[in-house]
Every structure is written in C-alpha cells, then in structure tokens.
Structure 1
Amino acid sequence: MHTVLVVLHAASGITGLLLALPVLLAPKRRGRHTLLGRVYAGAALGLSLSAFGLFAYDPGRLWGLAVLGALTLGWLVGGLWIARRRPRGLGARGWRIWHLNLMGSTVIAFVTGFAVQMTGGHLVAWLAPTVIGSLLIARTTAREIARAPRRIALSTAT
C-alpha cells in the first residue's frame, strides 16, 4: 500500500505542477480554464489524500507533509466552493479574488512540496515558494481589484 501511495502522490504532484501554469494563464471563462482546472483539482485532491496516507506510515518524519496536505485540501475545497457558489456578499468580482487567492495557494503548496523534496527539506525550500507565490498572488489580486467595476458612493447632503 505504501508504494501505491508514493506513486499516487508523485503522479498527482507532477500533474499539478504541469497544469498549474496553463490553468493560471488560460482565459478565465468556461472552456479550457474549467477543463484544466478540474484535472488540476483532481491532482490536488490526490496529492492531499496520499499525503495523509503517507503521513500515517511515518508521522514523526512526515508531519510537514500532513500539514501541507491539510492546507492544500482546505484551499482547494474553499477555492472550488467559491467558484461554484459565487457568493453575492463578496461583491461583483469578490468571488474571483477569493478563488484566485485560494487556488493560488494550492499552487504554492505544489511548488513547496517539490522544492522540499528536491532539497532534502532545506528551510529555504519551505519558505521561498510562499514568499514568492504570495507576492505574485498579491500583484494579481491588485490587478483584479483594479479591473473591478467602480462603485459610486452617493452621499446625500442634509
């Protein structure tokens, strides 16, 4: 069973890493973005669930994997829920900003896992993807906010 989990984890990780950029760059409408996004979400789900299974084999050494898996799963579920429900209380484009931030965080998790694996767990591998990814998400969020329709505040003078 351990080997199956390792293969599932590796295949999910590779799939997610390969699809992250195409999903991010695809026009945000039905079609390519949603199709690639569904496959990406499946990879993120496979990655998270296999992380929990692998953690069960060696909790003392793989606690970081479990934390990353739990965070990824939470961001994934939140990002998908927001995209499907598009809550009105978030404003005209608010749901897109939340979706962008949550799904962008899953990409950070994929990159972090890869970097940690490639460096043998070096501290920089744990921190650099979050710092760089957060800056990219912040920049993209600012652009999305700038594109949002301006609300005109009407004030009544008394």
Structure 2
Amino acid sequence: MAAGPIDIGGLPIPDSRPVFLVFLGVHIVAGLWCVLTGAGAALARKRRGRHPALGRAYALGLVVLALSLTVLAVLRWPHTVHLLLIGLLSITAAGVGVLARRRHGPGWVYTHGIAMTVSYVGLWTGFLIDNGPLLPVWRELPHVLHWALPSIVAVPLLVRALSRYRSAAPRQVSVWPLPGRRSVAR
C-alpha cells in the first residue's frame, strides 16, 4: 500500500515510503548518469577510446536505471506500468546495440546505431512522460509531445549520422568480375 504523496523542492513525490524514496534517489542518479554518458557516447568520435568507454558506462547505468525502475513500478503498480514498458524497451534496445557491436555481423554499425538511439530515446521519453507535466515550460506543451519529442529530435540526427558513416565507409570493388572472387576496399 502506497503512503501519501509528499513535496520535495516543489516537486510532488507520489509515495513517502522510505524504500520508495531510496530507490527514487538511485533512479535519479542513474538517470542523470545515463543522460550524460549517452550524450557523451553519441557525440564522441566513433573509434576506440572515448566512444566505447562512454557506451559501456551508459549500458551499466541503464542496468541500474532499469532495476530501480522495476522496483519503483512494482511499488506504484499499476500507475507506472507504461514507464516500466518504456524502460524494458530501452534496455532491450541497448542490449541489441551492445550485441551488434560485439558480434560485428553484417550491418552491425547500423544495428548498433539504431538500437542505441532507440535506447536513448526511450530514456528521454520515459523522463518526459513522467516529469514533463511537472516542469516549467514542459508542462505548457501538449502531452503528446512528451511522448513524441525525443523521437522527433533523434530520428533526423540518427539519419544524418548513419548517412555520414555510409559515405565514409570504404566501398567494395571487385578485383575480378567473376562471381565468388574476392573484393578489395578502395
């Protein structure tokens, strides 16, 4: 049974139970960690060093975020089931992105980029759906934008990034015009 709502710093907190507040604190820290490391990975050059290190930090933070979200959703069931579903989508997408990166199968760069973007969009969508109505400026927007705005921003950026990768990728040119012969990059 949920305890009554409380107000902290002008923000309404829907549950005052200590276990809820502890997991909410962990959730907030993990969410900020994911926002920063995810943005850092997205903005870093896609090569060894900063990008994969920030990507691993994002993925680990997302695990903590998903675990804390699960506890919070159970404590506030069924009011937050939609947030749990968004969180599950986000962590699943990140898992697909990580596996694509590790396995290096055909088209792995596109799979990795799309999956990690879906994960980050899910992170922002969950935040805006839950907190947008409480925040100045955001509360003035139609609620549908809380759902759509992360995708509206992310999709053109993803298309741009993937098109840049496509134009920078070496093209395969056949050395011999016969089928089954090897190709070389030029």
What range describes the TM-score normalised by the shorter chain of this pair? Answer: 0.7 to 0.9
1:101 corresponds in structure 2 to 114
In the TM superposition, 1:45-64 aligns within 5 A as 45-64=63-82
Partner of 1:145: 166
Partner residue of 1:130 out of 141, 147, 151: 151
Tell me the TM-score normalised to structure 2 length: 0.73
| Greater radius of gyration (CA) | 2
8 A Cα contact 1:20 1:107, kept in partner = yes
Alignment of 1:49-88 (within 5 A): 49-87=67-105
**1:131 Cα deviation from its structure 2 partner:** 2.2
Name the structure with the higher strand share: 2
Q: Please, what is the CA RMSD of the aligned residues?
A: 1.9
TM-score by length of 1: 0.84
Provide the secondary structure at the position in 2 that maps to 1:120: helix
Deviations along 1:12-33, one digit per CA (max 9) or x if unpaired, are 1111112222111212222111
Distance 2:144 2:158 in 1: 22
1:117 aligns with 130
Q: Distance in 1 between matches of 2:98 and 2:163?
A: 21
Deviation at 1:155, TM superposition (A): 5.9
Contact 1:86/1:95 (CA < 8 Å) preserved in 2? yes
% identical aligned pairs: 28
Contact 1:97–1:144 (8 Å) recurs in 2:
no
Rounded to whole Å, the distance in 1 between the matches of 2:67 and 2:100 is 21
**Structure 1 runs, 4 residues or longer, greater than 4 Å off:** 153-156
Number of residue pairs the alignment of both structures matches: 151
The one-letter amino acid paired with 1:29 is: R
Residue ranges of structure 1 left out of the alignment (5+ in a row)? none
CA contact (8 A) 1:55 1:62 kept: yes
Distance in 1 between residues matched to 2:43 and 2:60, nearest whole Å: 19
How far did 1:144 drift? Answer: 1.6
24, 35, 46: which is aligned to 2:42? 24
